[in-house]
Amino acid sequence: MSLYSERPSIALLPSGFADLLPGEAEAEARGIATVMETFSRYGYERVRPPLVEFEASLLSGSGSSLATQTFRLMDPETHRMMAIRPDMTTQIARIASVRLKDVARPLRLSYSGSCIVVGNQGREADRQISQAGIELIGPDSAQADAEVVALGAKALAALNIAGVSFDLSMPGMVLELVEQSIDPEHKDALLHALDRKDVSAVGELGGSIADILKAMLGATGPAEQALDKLANLEFSGSVLAHFERLRASVKAIRESAPQLHLTIDPVDFRGWQYHTGLCVTIFSTHSREELGRGGRYLAWDEPACGLTLRPQALLRAAPKGSVKLRCYVPAKLDDQQLSTLHDEGFATVSALDGAADPMVEAQRLRCTHIWKDGAISAL
């Protein structure tokens, strides 16, 4: 009888939590290392906040939007409530504002780590989420927006991920347009219609801005086409300012990343609770899975633009990497020879049972090669 059937409750993991097995775990670690190395090359310095903080700290500012997704723990030391991070952005903002407040801006930080979310009952989504991201803190400019987006694209390229779309939005445009022109009692219904992309409901509920909103809905698509369509609309005031900034950011992104698949959805505002400017969602065009997201926000009082990649999704989108070839070696092989094999990329699997037939053992232990008579040979 297998151990599994004897101990079903012990073998079971809570939904949303998973083991990564050999191969998977190695691929995740290598993927995160590749992304973090790309960030490091562009001057983003790594910080590592703890998994647990006081609730008051972790859920302050932009973190408050994640309050219902956060597990709490009581600190037996202080009897204050602590929380397990559901996201790392708030932590990076805290580090920038407190620990690194005297470091010159622009401050470029990178991070990677695991987060835990409460999850939504009945949904089979991950509850432990790996993140690897960057924050560019200080400047508020199109060029800063573009640096973050383009560096995200470089990280994906380093993983050889093809078929990627960067979907831009500027939630302030549509939100401020509605705010300025629509009575408070009709606002929610209109926003709901916009979110559903329900053109006829937008026409009915849009009042004096119905036409402009319908035109914005129709502008969704490839970035340059969308900008051309939006340029014909009569924006004014802060809405116009948002549009001009969107155009400037796209122009700056194009300078670094002329080939990037870039789209604009000018009425996308949902899911961007604390963002103040350009927002971006990165999708795999094959699976429509979200690979990462980010945007402009305030890190405490400072302008910031960040991007968080999801290594688990990246690995599903990336081509399979090679694993180490495994070479079966005698127990007493000297260190010099082992080092040579390691430098050639082999993992060495040492004989432990001197009596067993090396060829049989090598195959049983999933080796691809064997060290025999002073030389390596393929199995």
- In the region spanning residues 141 to 200, those forming contacts with a second copy, defined by CB under 8 A, are 141, 143-144, 147
Q: Which is nearer to a second copy, 273 or 350 (CB)?
A: 350
Q: For tokens 């993991």, name the residue.
A: 13
Name which of residues 308 to 347 contact a second copy (CB under 8 A). Answer: 324, 326, 331-332, 342, 346-347
By CB under 8 A, residue 64 contacts a second copy: no
Write down the least CB distance from residue 210 to a second copy, Å.
40
Write down the least CB distance from residue 318 to a second copy, Å.
17
Rg (CA), the chain: 26
Name which of residues 118 to 137 contact a second copy (CB under 8 A). Answer: 118-119, 121-122, 127-128
By CB under 8 A, residue 226 contacts a second copy: no
Long-range (24+ apart) CB contacts under 8 A made by 40-44 are 40/110, 42/108, 42/147, 42/151, 42/154, 43/108, 44/108, 44/109, 44/110, 44/134, 44/151
Write down the least CB distance from residue 187 to a second copy, Å.
32
Q: Which is nearer to a second copy, 184 or 258 (CB)?
A: 258
CA dist 38 and 41 (Å) reads 5
CA dist 364 and 333 (Å) reads 20
By CB under 8 A, residue 237 contacts a second copy: no
Determine phi and psi for 113, rounding to 5 degrees.
170, 180
- List 67, 75, 231, 330, residue binding a second copy (CB under 8 A): 75
By CB under 8 A, residue 68 contacts a second copy: no
Site string for a second copy, 97-116 (x = CB under 8 A): xxxxx-xx-x-xx-xx-x-x
Long-range (24+ apart) CB contacts under 8 A made by 313-317 are 313/284, 313/289, 314/31, 314/35, 314/156, 314/159, 314/161, 315/24, 315/27, 315/28, 315/31, 316/284, 316/287, 316/289, 317/161, 317/163, 317/164, 317/284, 317/286, 317/287, 317/289, 317/291
Write down the least CB distance from residue 270 to a second copy, Å.
24
Site string for a second copy, 346-365 (x = CB under 8 A): xxxxx-xx----------xx
Write down the least CB distance from residue 157 to a second copy, Å.
10
Paired residues of 115 in beta bridges: 129
By CB under 8 A, residue 274 contacts a second copy: no
Selection from 286, 270, 317, 309 nearest residue 65 by Cα: 270
Stretch that binds a second copy, among 77-85, 165-173, 175-183, 238-246 (CB under 8 A): 77-85
Name which of residues 20 to 49 contact a second copy (CB under 8 A). Answer: 20-26, 28-29, 33, 36, 40-43, 45-49
